Amino acid sequence: MPEGALTITAIEMLRRLRRCLDGGQASYSKKTHQLLNEKCAEKSTVLPLYPETKRFLDLVPEVDPEKIGVEAFRQGFRELAKMLPKEKVEHVEDLRIPGTQCDLPARVYTPAMGKRAGGVVYFHGGGFVIGDVESYDPFCRALANASESVVISVDYRLAPEHKFPTAVNDAFDSVTWALKNTARFGITQGIAVAGDSAGGNLSAVSALKCRDEGLGLKAEVLVFPFTSFDVASRSSIEYGDSLFLTRKQGTWFGAQYLSRPEDALSPLFSPILNPNLSGLPPTLLVTAEYDPLRDQGEAYADMLAKAGVLVTSVRVRGVTHGFIALPGIGGDTCSMIGGYLKKTFQS
């Protein structure tokens, strides 16, 4: 795509998000409207979309990564994040984590008032292809304050430049480094892992690797996590074509990340396939009602509980995949996650 087209796309996305954040009135698409009406008629307990979600779906265009390319996709994601509000924290430090294969950029947030209940290693979402520390800066600031914990946001290497299992190795290196450097940041109540979407996947896999290596974590927080390829669940079928994250996009992300089809069967990619899910730390698993990943996330929560893990599973109604970054319900959910982490660190 010509450079001018990329610039226009980014500007248009910024304009649309600004209207969304300003509370501009918007109607969602006829396809989405029809789908939601059918679901509400089918099951009375299904809630309408939250206003923030309605505006987001209408104002942010559906992206076809095959047409715009990886760099344009990444650029648009970064530009959107620039428009989100940022909370003040006591201190922000950019550093590099020495990994087994390379040094990894990271950003460390000390919460306001200097409170440090624990440490949270956070892995951003983005299908293993997009996203970075900068684009998740607003959310990690909010999470640091809500959890009263030091948050370490990690720039793991992305596909397609770095295929599976590179991100897994980077994530585990980051967690082991954090466990060894708690004193440096004044962390006295342990380390938790957290992440959303692809980052939730890396958090889940890192927790399993820590268990296998005898490394203790205080908790794991998985927000609408990817736990396996899923084309058959109800949520994948019902919401895979119209509500923000599409089946086509999911397939594209997988093709960028995996080198071979058989990689999809590895527990390092599909943690739900791990034959032993016992011995994991207390887990908070958050799903979104209108998310194609909802059912696989809740299935993972069920399997953890059956394996004896202390699990809290929360389905947030009226929202889609990615809602955690939105004002309103996203902020409320961040506060809920923060409260969970504070209580877990203190236990």
Q: Which domains does the chain possess?
A: 3-82 (no CATH), 91-346 (3.40.50.1820)
Catalytic residues: 197, 291, 321
Q: Which of 9-18, 112-121, 160-169, 207-216 bottoms out in mean pLDDT, i.e. has the lowest?
A: 9-18
CA distance 143 to 232: 33
- Strand-by-strand arrangement of the 311-320 sheet: 91-98, 103-110, 150-154, 119-123, 191-196, 219-223, 283-290, 311-320
Per-residue pLDDT band for 59 (boundaries 50, 70, 90) equals low
The H-or-E segment that residue 200 falls in is: helix 198-212
**So what's the pLDDT on residue 48?**
74
Note the pLDDT of residue 53: 76
Residues of the chain above pLDDT 70, percent: 85
* Element housing 117 (H / E): none
pTM here is: 0.86
Strongest mean pLDDT among 1-10, 49-58, 134-143, 244-253: 134-143
Does 124 have pLDDT greater than 70? yes
What is the average pLDDT across 43-60?
Answer: 64
Rounded distance between C-alpha atoms, residue 133 and residue 154, angstroms: 6
* Model pLDDT, residue 37: 42
pLDDT of residue 49: 79
State yes or no: pLDDT of 129 exceeds 90: yes
CA-CA distance, 276 to 80, in Å (whole number)?
39
**Over 80: is that where the pLDDT of 32 sits?**
no
Distances (CA, A) of 321 to 85, 86, 193, 235, 254: 20, 21, 20, 11, 17
**How many angstroms separate the CA atoms of 347 and 342, rounded?**
9
Q: Which of 24-33, 65-74, 306-315 has the lowest mean pLDDT?
A: 24-33
- The pLDDT value recorded for residue 240 is 87
Among 330, 130, 124, CA closest to 249: 130
**What would the mean pLDDT of 85-108 be, rounded to a whole number?**
97
